[in-house]
Structure 1
Amino acid sequence: MNFSVNKFLKDRRLWMISIIIFILLITVFDKNNLIEVWKLNQQLNELESQRDYYQQKITQDSTILENLKDDTFLERYAREHYLMKRQGETIYIIKE
């Protein structure tokens, strides 16, 4: 009876050591380890958010570009963004 308990405990230790080694291999030492996968997921999320930002920016710029074909919008845009004026006009800039 005592023999089988000792054998069971030795086998159990062997299995525990094997499992611990396996976990270390997949988390630290493997080429595609869990730490690297986690970092790559973070980078992927960051790149996706940048992609969404630039897609939104492209849409906004496309709308502005389309509107710049209209002379009244072009004049208003130039006045607001570049402080352009007609000849003889005076511009007063009020800062809040």
Structure 2
Amino acid sequence: MLKYFKNIFVLITLGFVIWMLFLDSNSYLIHYDLNEEIDELENEKEYYRKEIIKDNKAIKELKREEGLEKFAREAYYMKRVNEDIYIIEYADSLKTKNNE
């Protein structure tokens, strides 16, 4: 086994492989990190595409008169004249020390 390491071609090839895998600016480790970053960015891109689709649906809903009224009633508790609003909160939706 030791006689193979005495060969100059094996030493040069081994040095070249070590250099390319670990020490070069285009090494395997750097490529691995860059591929992970690309995957994260692709996931973010997909998330933002889904959010854009959801926001476009909300915009279309708010352009309608009924959608705008529903949003105003639910988000800002607005009401019509001569109308009473009752807000019902269930026990499991209330924040208490036990279920926080």
TM-score under structure 2 length normalisation:
0.73
- The percentage of aligned residue pairs carrying the same residue is 24
Mapping of residues 12-91 of structure 1, within 5 Å: 12-13=4-5, 14=7, 15-80=9-74, 82-86=75-79, 87=81, 88-91=83-86
Whichever residue aligns with residue 32 of structure 1, its letter is N
Distance in 2, matches of 1:91 and 1:37, equals 59
Structure 1 residue 18: Cα displacement: 2.3
How many pairs align?
85
User: Greater helix percent: which structure?
Assistant: 1
Distance in 1, matches of 2:30 and 2:47, equals 26
Structure 1 residue 89: Cα displacement: 2.1
Structure 1 residue 20: Cα displacement: 2.3
Q: Mind listing any 5+ residue stretches in structure 1 that lack a counterpart? A: 1-8
Distance in 2, matches of 1:37 and 1:31, equals 9
- Aligned-residue RMSD, C-alpha: 1.7
Write out the 4+ residue segments of structure 1 that deviate beyond 6 Å after TM superposition.
none
Q: Mind listing any 5+ residue stretches in structure 2 that lack a counterpart? A: 94-100
